[in-house]
Amino acid sequence: MSASHTISNSLPDELKLSISFKWLLGLYAIIPLCLALQLIDMSLWQSYLQSHLPSSPNHFIVFQILFGTPHILASTLLLTSHNDYLKKYSRKLLIMTLAIAIVFGFGSLFIPYKAFYVLVAGWTVYHVIKQQHGVARSVCQLPNWAFYLLLWLSVSAGLIIYIGIFLKNSLDVQQILWIKQSAGLLCICVTLFGFYCQRYVDSLFGKCFLWANIFLVFSSFYFYLQQYYFLAILVPRLVHDATAYTFYVTHDYNRHHNIPNNWMYGIAARCHIPFLIVLPLSSFALAFVLQAYGDGFISQLSEFFFGTRINKVITLGLLGYLALMHYYTEAFTWKNDSPYRRYIGFSK
């Protein structure tokens, strides 16, 4: 996902909503808020949060219902509920589905679990960080080489932090030390390179975006060192998900506000549901049903028909597949020549 190379305050008449770069930058306020929470916890609450929060927000089903799964489902609904998008990208979707089936089906017979984990973790981190750097790209106006070097330094640091958090129980002391040193060195490189890249950014607003993305990685590293693993994952997740929803809601409102042309917005129009909340409401409701009841329903169904319980078909199978497809499709559905972009405009 990336922003247009041109920031315009005047939009075509058919675009009733524009995406404000000030709003997108404001989402990074979660960083100082989480830093303040961590400092309060250490100084006033005797590290209560550090002791009681899980190692990842994914361990809270409530978190998954609110932040993890919904934006993936929203992306899926946006793509599949529009026949023209589905037709345009059907070949790519089919090829990727077969690739996932081969790699994670047949490949699981001989590829080690940790190799799978690092592969998915790397893709996840790249997806999250690439979106934020892509959004800021038109504001910062970095040369291509500087943009990609900063991106890959950030992704490398983020991946090592991610591995350090989620595999910490299977790492020995020396491996943990190596991870901390490597992530720290990469964060220093990102920071130093950020100072160098400032010369290419003309505006103060662009510099703020540049440093917001640097602090996004650096804050995760800081929380990782302080063993606030929940906050280390929460910060980039909140920024990423809120940014994605901004694009999704803007797209759908601009496409359907005159004449609803898919089933979701046809139902919403008949029920007098405001179009701004249709996609969030649908994705959050679907996330709740699938996360809370999906696995249990499929387990009971499989036991009734086959005499055996099949576990985690929804949370690992379906939602895992949709997450991988989401990482894949977001790489091309929001490019400048994508039909999605007809319904997106930007303002400062």
Q: How confident is the model at residue 56 (pLDDT cuts 50, 70, 90)?
A: low
How many Cα atoms within 13 Å fall on the side-chain side of residue 164?
31
201: left (phi over 0), alpha (psi -120 to 50) or beta: beta
pLDDT at residue 342 in the model: 92
User: What is the per-residue DSSP string for 273-329?
Assistant: --GGGHHHHHHHHHHHHIIIIIHHHHHHHHHHHHSSPPPSIIIIIIHHHHHHHHHHH
Pairwise pLDDT comparison (30 vs 310), residue with the higher score: 30
Token pair recorded at residue 139: 């504001």
Q: CA of 145: how far to CAs of 4, 151, 152, 280, in Å?
A: 19, 10, 11, 37
**Enclosing H/E stretch for 51:** helix 48-52
Is 221 a residue whose pLDDT tops 90? yes
Is 11 a residue whose pLDDT tops 60? no
Calpha distance 175→122 (Å, rounded): 18
Is 229 a residue whose pLDDT tops 60? yes
Q: How confident is the model at residue 59 (pLDDT cuts 50, 70, 90)?
A: low
Is 348 a residue whose pLDDT tops 80? no
pLDDT at residue 303 in the model: 78
**Enclosing H/E stretch for 19:** strand 19-20
**pTM of the entire predicted model:** 0.90
Q: Which of 230, 217, 223 is nearest to 67 (CA)?
A: 230
Residue 74: alpha-carbon gap to chain centroid: 12
Q: What tens digit of pLDDT does each residue of 236-264 get?
A: 999 999 999 999 999 999 999 988 989 99
pLDDT at residue 298 in the model: 86
pLDDT at residue 174 in the model: 94
Is 73 a residue whose pLDDT tops 80? yes
Buried-state track 169-201, b at ≥16 Cβ within 10 A, e below 16: eeeeeeeeeebbebbbebbebbeebbeebeeeb
**Residues 100/322, Cβ–Cβ less than 8 Å:** no
pLDDT at residue 5 in the model: 46
Q: What tens digit of pLDDT does each residue of 24-36 get?
A: 999 999 999 999 9
Q: Which of 277, 223, 296, 300 is nearest to 41 (CA)?
A: 223
Tell me which DSSP letter residue 29 carries: G
User: What is the per-residue DSSP string for 237-248?
Assistant: HHHHHHHHHHHH
18: left (phi over 0), alpha (psi -120 to 50) or beta: beta
Q: What tens digit of pLDDT does each residue of 140-195 get?
A: 999 999 999 999 999 999 999 999 988 888 888 999 999 999 999 999 999 999 99
Coil, strand or helix: which one is 198?
helix
Calpha distance 182→188 (Å, rounded): 10
> 18-27, 300-309, 321-330: which has the minimum mean pLDDT?
300-309
Report the share of the chain in percent with pLDDT over 70.
92
Pairwise pLDDT comparison (315 vs 128), residue with the higher score: 128
Q: Which amino acid appears at position 224 of this protein?
A: Y
